[in-house]
């Protein structure tokens, strides 16, 4: 296999995984942020400063 082909495959994997993981982050991230806020709110109620 030539170097040219190796780099083409590497770039295709990089771009495809970047797009797919970015979509997953965009979709799943909102729920995780809500969970984080809920956890911080809960802790704030438990430990008033």
The least distance separating other proteins from the CB of residue 30, rounded to whole angstroms, comes to 8
The least distance separating other proteins from the CB of residue 25, rounded to whole angstroms, comes to 5
In whole angstroms, give the CA distance from residue 49 to residue 20.
42
**Of the candidates 16, 15, 19, the residue with the CA atom closest to the CA atom of residue 27:** 19
Helix residue ranges, H only, 1-49: 3-46
Tokens coding 41: 């709110």
The least distance separating other proteins from the CB of residue 2, rounded to whole angstroms, comes to 8
Binding footprint of other proteins on the chain (CB under 8 A): 3-4, 7-8, 10-11, 13-15, 17-19, 21-22, 24-26, 28-30, 32-33, 35-37, 39-41, 43-44, 47, 49
């Amino acid at each position: 296999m030539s170097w040219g082909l190796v780099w083409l495959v590497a770039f295709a994997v990089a771009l495809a995984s970047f797009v797919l993981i970015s979509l997953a982050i965009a979709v799943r991230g909102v729920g995780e942020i809500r969970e984080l806020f809920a956890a911080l709110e809960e802790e704030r109620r438990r430990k008033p400063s």
